[in-house]
């Protein structure tokens, strides 16, 4: 049913691809669909924040307004961006990227009633979106904010959030850590049902090399793609694009 709804949505839209700032996506898929949302799941220290920031920096370079929701303190985030050789500070100062600091529900005032805390938080997120009217957002990371005890309430909140992004034609990347429980897997599936594709990063903490998988929930150029990447300070982010040169580019991981 979710895929059918997505197909109807695309039939009613004038599809437009926008650059993501991630080479495999831009060359393999041609970019991301404007006004769509994508779920980025990755193992610990796999480069999730780097991928999200690249997406926003691509937009900021084109003078788009961008929002970055994060629980990381500003000092930690700027140090991380400096380590990754990303010009985050420049675009924050000129107003094209706004950092929105969030407090995980378990640390907030309503820690006894996390469902209430999360519901109110998403209302605040929508208010911020309405205030800044961004073209792109990244939520890094959303894992702590979908731990609802009430699954029905979770679905309603996520649908409200999704509808607001669609209404304001915002392209978003929603970042999550890899689920470690069946409950979290089910909650992420609720979120995935409202997204248009999955980006999956798999890298061990002490390894330089990892794999990136692109799985479209609605057809993208080249379909499913899987490749290798390296991510360190000396070489930055490098993705093996040779996979795109194969005669059969529909690669299933």
Domain ranges of the chain: 2-245
How many C-beta neighbours within 10 Å does residue 167 have?
11
Q: What is the pLDDT of residues 216-245, one digit of tens each?
A: 987 676 789 999 999 776 667 889 999 987
- Residue whose entry in the numeric block shows the structure tokens 């069946």: 182
The pLDDT score that the predictor gives to residue 234 is 67
C-alpha of 178 from chain center: 13
DSSP H or E run through 59: helix 48-61
The pLDDT score that the predictor gives to residue 81 is 92
The pLDDT score that the predictor gives to residue 252 is 35
The pLDDT score that the predictor gives to residue 106 is 65
The pLDDT score that the predictor gives to residue 157 is 92
The answer to whether residues 198 and 188 touch, using CB atoms and an 8 Å cutoff, is no
How many C-beta neighbours within 10 Å does residue 94 have?
10
For helices 182-192 and 151-167, angle between their N-to-C axes, nearest 10 degrees: 30
| Residue (of 144, 139, 107) closest to 126 by Cα position | 139
Predicted TM-score (pTM) of the model is: 0.88
Low-confidence ranges of the chain (pLDDT < 70): 1-14, 106-112, 219, 221, 233-235, 246-253
The pLDDT score that the predictor gives to residue 107 is 64
The pLDDT score that the predictor gives to residue 149 is 86
Residue 174 token pair: 């929603």
- The CATH class of 2-245 is alpha beta
The pLDDT score that the predictor gives to residue 111 is 53
The answer to whether residues 84 and 236 touch, using CB atoms and an 8 Å cutoff, is yes
Residue 165 burial by Cβ neighbours in a 10 Å radius (0-12, 13-18, 19+): buried
> Residues, the chain, total?
253
The pLDDT score that the predictor gives to residue 148 is 85
The pLDDT score that the predictor gives to residue 143 is 87
**How far apart are the C-alpha atoms of 116 and 238, rounded to whole Å?**
42
The answer to whether residues 166 and 35 touch, using CB atoms and an 8 Å cutoff, is yes
| Residue (of 232, 173, 228, 164) closest to 41 by Cα position | 173
**How far apart are the C-alpha atoms of 226 and 30, rounded to whole Å?**
15
């Amino acid at each position: 049913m979710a895929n059918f709804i997505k197909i109807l949505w695309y039939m009613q839209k004038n599809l437009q691809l926008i650059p993501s700032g991630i080479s495999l996506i831009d060359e393999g898929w041609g970019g991301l669909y404007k006004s769509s949302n994508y779920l980025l799941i990755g193992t610990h220290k796999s480069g999730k924040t780097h991928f999200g920031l690249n997406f926003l920096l691509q937009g900021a370079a084109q003078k788009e307004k961008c929002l970055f929701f994060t629980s990381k303190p500003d000092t930690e985030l700027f140090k991380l961006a400096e380590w990754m050789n990303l010009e985050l500070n420049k675009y924050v100062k000129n107003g094209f990227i706004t950092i929105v600091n969030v407090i995980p529900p378990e640390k907030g005032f309503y820690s006894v009633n996390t469902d209430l805390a999360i519901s109110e938080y998403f209302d605040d997120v929508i208010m911020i979106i309405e205030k800044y009217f961004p073209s792109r957002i990244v939520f890094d990371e959303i894992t702590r904010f979908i731990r609802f005890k009430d699954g029905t309430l979770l679905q309603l909140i996520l649908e409200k959030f999704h509808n607001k992004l669609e209404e304001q034609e915002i392209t978003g990347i929603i970042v999550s850590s890899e689920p470690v429980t069946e409950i979290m897997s089910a909650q992420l599936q609720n979120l995935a049902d409202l997204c248009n594709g999955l980006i999956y990063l798999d890298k061990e903490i002490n390894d330089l090399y990892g794999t990136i998988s692109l799985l479209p929930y609605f057809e993208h150029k080249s379909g499913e793609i899987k490749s290798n990447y390296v991510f360190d300070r000396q070489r930055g982010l490098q993705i093996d694009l040779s996979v795109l040169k194969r005669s059969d580019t529909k690669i299933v991981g």
